[in-house]
Amino acid sequence: MSDSDSEKKKNSSDDSDLDEEAVNTVIWPVQIRVSIEFLSIGEVDTLNEKFQAEVRIISKWFDIRADKKKYCRKKDWNPNLFIENAMHDVKEKIKYKVAVVDNDKREITEVRMAKGNFWERIELQNFPLDTQELSITFASKKKTSQVNLIQNQGKISTIYFETLHSFRDQQKWKLYKMVNVSQQASYDIGSSKSINEIDPEANEFDNLHRIMKSKRAKFVATCYCSRRPAYYLINCFSFNFLITCLSLTIFSLETRLAPNRISGTFTLILTSVSFKWVSNRTLPTVSYLTSLDKYQITSIIYLVLCCVWHSTISSINLDMSKKIVIDKIAVGVFALCFIIIQIVFSIRIFKAFQGLKELKLREERFIRQVPEYDDDDV
């Protein structure tokens, strides 16, 4: 049996719930033109990795049958579309429209209204200067060999201007008026081999083609929001900075007062550890370190080294005058290390702010390219 015959047999078996006449009215793969509009966005829940939103999804496809004026989902061919990252509380309303085109086919329009919570993988590497993607993953239960979800060029995916003003988490997040579309969700990245990694001599092109045809068709619309970092910069970074800075004042005690030096440093370490646990309560458990984690752990390690030094200098069998000289050198070394740590993390913060500026420029370019909305064009 040829490949084309087997493909037709597969397509027919997948549409067994439809009559044969309905299946024969489409040409594979069917091009589904999709437009996703963010009507409103509510709370962005970082801890539970979800966000609230209300969206309108408009899907259009052609059918060569033109003798009917009313679309019937059970009898006519349907791409079986659904929102892949919708959570259990999402409520949907779906309606269909039919428009006859060129007297020989009809254009089916599916208008889907969805409101509720949507799951999103939260990326916290740059926390608290992180930018989050808020995505709606629209998919078909059919494979890419049967259905292809593409951007509707006549009405592109976008976010309403009113959504920016009605955004409920404005105190915590800055919402950008920009929508990016793709055919791959963020959690799909890495699931298949990159085209640059394929070995042509190993016939891997055929394997890749077979994998892509067996995947579900998807259309992902993503808007962006960045965290307002002032709260964390003031209440986390600045307090950690002050706690670590206090460790240098302990060197003012004489080297013979090692118990006092060590107990003071222990107090700073316990304070830093407690402060770290409190600041992490608002974040989900992730397998990597955020920027805040790195800064806090670095500060704790710095305090531990100070404690080790205080115990070492007291146990060295030297004259007091030599100990004082060595201790002064140690103060200079620790002060230099402290300054280097602050410079390194200041550079990281500066780069994160530069990333936000680039996102702002992308937003401005998007606004210039997007025409005004027409609510009646659905």
Q: How far apart are the first and last CA of the chain?
A: 44
In a domain, 92, yes or no: yes
Residue 26: predicted pLDDT: 54
Tell me: do 253 and 344 sit in the same domain.
yes
How many structural domains comprise the chain?
A: 2
DSSP string, 58-73: EEEEEES--S-SS--T
Residue 279: predicted pLDDT: 81
Place of tokens 């047999």: 9
Is the distance from CB of 236 to CB of 279 less than 8 angstroms? yes
Evaluated on CA atoms 188, 191, 197, 202, the torsion sign reads negative
Tell me: do 218 and 312 sit in the same domain.
no
In a domain, 69, yes or no: yes
Query: What's the token pair of residue 354?
Result: 């530069």
DSSP E strand boundaries for the chain: 30-45, 50-63, 81-83, 91-101, 105-119, 131-143, 147-151, 158-159, 173-182, 216-227
In a domain, 139, yes or no: yes
In a domain, 100, yes or no: yes
Residue 165: predicted pLDDT: 81
In a domain, 188, yes or no: yes
Tell me: do 215 and 248 sit in the same domain.
no
User: Domain residues for 175?
Assistant: 3-228
Is the distance from CB of 283 to CB of 127 less than 8 angstroms? yes
CA–CA separation, 363 and 346 (whole Å):
26
CA–CA separation, 40 and 42 (whole Å):
7
Question: Rounded mean pLDDT of 208-227?
Answer: 75
Tell me: do 116 and 256 sit in the same domain.
no
pLDDT (tens digit per residue) in 153-199: 888 888 887 787 888 888 899 999 889 998 877 777 544 333 334 34
At which of 204, 228, 252 does a domain end? 228
Question: What is the number of residues in the chain?
Answer: 378
- Contacts of residue 370, defined as CB under 8 A and 6 or more positions apart, other chains included, come to 156, 158
pLDDT (tens digit per residue) in 314-358: 888 888 888 889 989 999 999 999 999 999 999 999 998 898 899
Nearest to 162 by CA among 175, 173, 172: 175
Tell me: do 224 and 286 sit in the same domain.
no
CA–CA separation, 149 and 171 (whole Å):
36
Tell me: do 189 and 265 sit in the same domain.
no
Tell me: do 218 and 311 sit in the same domain.
no
- CATH of residue 111's domain is 2.70.170.10
- Mean of the per-residue pLDDT values of the chain: 81
Nearest to 51 by CA among 222, 241, 196: 222
In a domain, 142, yes or no: yes
pLDDT (tens digit per residue) in 101-120: 776 678 889 999 999 999 99
Tell me: do 22 and 159 sit in the same domain.
yes
User: Which amino acid type is present at position 239?
Assistant: F
In a domain, 370, yes or no: no
At which of 194, 228, 262 does a domain end? 228
Tell me: do 116 and 204 sit in the same domain.
yes
At which of 180, 206, 228 does a domain end? 228
pLDDT (tens digit per residue) in 6-15: 444 444 444 4
Strand pairing partners for 106?
Answer: 63, 100
Residue 186: predicted pLDDT: 72
Tell me: do 175 and 280 sit in the same domain.
no
Q: How confident is the model at residue 365 (pLDDT cuts 50, 70, 90)?
A: confident
Please compute Rg for the chain using Cα positions.
Answer: 30
pLDDT (tens digit per residue) in 56-73: 999 998 877 645 677 777
In a domain, 373, yes or no: no
Tell me: do 28 and 176 sit in the same domain.
yes
Tell me: do 56 and 198 sit in the same domain.
yes
Is the distance from CB of 118 to CB of 87 less than 8 angstroms? yes
Burial category of 132 from C-beta neighbours within 10 Å (exposed 0-12, middle 13-18, buried 19 and up): buried
By percentage, how much of the chain surpasses pLDDT 70? 81
- CATH of residue 268's domain is 1.20.58.390
Nearest to 87 by CA among 143, 37, 137: 137
